[in-house]
Structure 1
């Protein structure tokens, strides 16, 4: 069969592909915020940052600042904006401290009510009912394993239902990968969809990552799906597999029995998790900042070593430096092509020509269309 005919048959119809004009624009972004990011359970951080009373984490969900706080062992989520004069309450990504606005010192309790207002009697005269009306808007919070999620608008499916079969995967990853070795927030001049798509196929590897990821994995890509979510699995190159076998042995690292290759999960809309040889986990969110910008927030984890003498030693440090450097290099290579694609899509009207090698992108587009069509 002629290759061109075969490719035409395997390509996805243009009407199933997000058109370029729907990647950008204020109207599209506002619709995504309303129909996707406010209604879906969004990953915001890890429960090990919320273990103690008054521990907190903060996150941005498509322009809404969120705080999750431990109140005597119970996690509660609120809008991270003071109801007095709109200052953000917690300014750090995580820490320990009561919800106290740094602007005027208003103190909020476990119900989000301002119970401490400096000069209330002299200047405001708020009674209990008035203070309750000034309570912080509260959001839903859910935890699966160590993964913490927030939903801005109530209603709809519960967290476990949204995750489906990937819920037990998060439980397993939470048990395996306990040591955070790197974390950063990287600004990308690209729409969140363009950024995320760089993680959903390996067709780009030869051209984009000739000295990095190309040498890391074989040309095998097996895809599967769970509702709105997807998984892609590829095999490590023989050289990479041998290197990781040696690292696991020398450091006494745990290795997952479930995930033995390079396993990549996408949990809709913007959470991507990669597991390397069952021994390394990368957690990435492609957080929308605006129609033309996003932030890539990544965290990198290893498991706890069974050889205490190696923890903090030169071999462990060398391994961490190696994998952290590799990860940052690959992400920067992805950033460059994603930003280039975003600049290009603003100059065209025809949808992308997706082939069968990009089936996870096509599945992501289907999930996007379904969410955007909901009332």
Structure 2
């Protein structure tokens, strides 16, 4: 059952999906303190493996230093070049592509070509800027803040369920795409099932009945769960789950940790998705997809896993593409809309998300002033 039994007000105005001021406020108040899932451990399995990202207007480099993951601003303190323009790779040393300055796991300088030319040495101002890195399950998170709360504390209610993004579930694929829309459009779409019959007529067909749907709403987290339909894909999935040695729970979960990280799960798969604003009316949507491998070994279990992995991945990408087709139209509609908007009970997680954005973008100082006035 849903928490609300009457429709709700659309709290965000159309201009809050297009304005530069709103975009900057969201970066500062919502995204700067947040943890961002960027990769999985297998992407950085060997010493010297690295990945680079453009995250919230900040170039990031994540690297394996002898088994320890470190994240740095991908900018050399010497002459401001990016350390590397490659999206991924493996190097014996972290070395700037421009003049060959080398850096250790703490971001301090190592070998410097013709180091005598830089006497006296300003060691404090010659270090890379470092960011916090932590993991949940097999997922690697990075935080851009100066003194972030620990990842487990930030994730809160989703820490335990997201621990199994790994283990019995193996990373199958990562994909991302840029969309011509505000990031909130993508996130809000993920928070409701009302669009399913229109947008996913072949993959999901219809939304579940209210008596088989449950929402949980808290200040920083919401969830949706339902019982999958008893059709042949579900029955086939249950057969594969048993062959791989896992109990059949027969439950679909969708969880979000505001502002932008979502995780969905069925017995056969796990998917973590994160939407990053790249401008007032543009965003990047990244997916980390896992399929069940289970603990059972042997020819049948191996064949089942090899069969399940590409099929589940293909279905997940199809759903991703189906949703992606409507984002641009929603953005264009918001630009022209004279309407207030309305939110139905099946969309109540959107109302809760909009409350989070409205409250969060006031910032600590604004909230204190508002409280004093009250």
Above 0.5 in TM-score? yes
Name the stretch that deviates more: 282-291 or 146-155: 146-155
CA drift of 1:223 comes to 1.0
1:359 aligns with 2:348: yes
Quick one: distance in 2 between partners of 1:23 and 1:195? 11
SS in 2 for 1:117: coil
2:257 corresponds in structure 1 to 267
User: Could you tell me the TM-score, scaled by structure 2's length?
Assistant: 0.86
Change (3 A) 1:321 1:47: closer
Which residue, 8, 13, 29 being the options, matches 2:9? 13
Quick one: distance in 2 between partners of 1:91 and 1:308? 43
2:107 corresponds in structure 1 to 112
Number of residue pairs aligned between Structure 1 and Structure 2 = 356
Name the stretch that deviates more: 284-293 or 194-203: 284-293
Change (3 A) 1:254 1:195: farther
1:298 aligns with 2:298: no
Which residue, 193, 216, 219 being the options, matches 1:202? 193
Which residue, 325, 329, 338 being the options, matches 1:340? 329
- For structure 1, the residue ranges without an aligned partner over 5 or more in a row are 1-7
Whether contact under 8 Å (1:99, 1:109) holds in the other structure is yes
Whether contact under 8 Å (1:164, 1:227) holds in the other structure is no
1:102 corresponds in structure 2 to 97
Please provide the CA RMSD for this pair. 2.5
SS in 1 for 2:337: coil
Change (3 A) 1:212 1:13: same
CA drift of 1:317 comes to 4.3
Quick one: distance in 2 between partners of 1:181 and 1:151? 25
CA drift of 1:102 comes to 2.1
SS in 2 for 1:81: coil
Quick one: distance in 2 between partners of 1:47 and 1:319? 22
Whether contact under 8 Å (2:18, 2:182) holds in the other structure is yes
Quick one: distance in 1 between partners of 2:351 and 2:95? 45
Alignment of 1:157-176 (within 5 A): 157-176=149-168
CA drift of 1:206 comes to 0.7
SS in 1 for 2:8: coil
Whether contact under 8 Å (1:115, 1:131) holds in the other structure is no
1:146 aligns with 2:138: yes
Any idea what the Cα deviations from partners look like across 1:182-240, whole Å, max 9, x if unmatched?
Answer: 2211121111110111111100001111111226x633431113431111112211113
Quick one: distance in 2 between partners of 1:120 and 1:351? 63
Whether contact under 8 Å (2:8, 2:343) holds in the other structure is yes
1:243 corresponds in structure 2 to 236
After TM superposition, where is structure 1 displaced by more than 6 Å over at least 4 residues in a row?
A: none
Whether contact under 8 Å (1:255, 1:279) holds in the other structure is no
Quick one: distance in 1 between partners of 2:262 and 2:150? 20
Change (3 A) 1:186 1:274: same
SS in 1 for 2:163: helix
Quick one: distance in 2 between partners of 1:331 and 1:44? 18
CA drift of 1:299 comes to 2.0
Name the stretch that deviates more: 90-99 or 278-287: 90-99
Whether contact under 8 Å (1:164, 1:226) holds in the other structure is no
Name the stretch that deviates more: 148-157 or 32-41: 148-157
2:70 corresponds in structure 1 to 76
SS in 1 for 2:355: helix
Name the stretch that deviates more: 194-203 or 79-88: 79-88
1:5 corresponds in structure 2 to none
Whether contact under 8 Å (1:43, 1:149) holds in the other structure is yes
User: Could you tell me the TM-score, scaled by structure 1's length?
Assistant: 0.86
Change (3 A) 1:85 1:144: same
Quick one: distance in 2 between partners of 1:348 and 1:32? 22
Any idea what the Cα deviations from partners look like across 1:110-155, whole Å, max 9, x if unmatched?
Answer: 221232333443xx42543x24302111122222332322221223
CA drift of 1:248 comes to 2.4
SS in 2 for 1:114: coil
2:56 corresponds in structure 1 to 62
Quick one: distance in 1 between partners of 2:60 and 2:327? 27
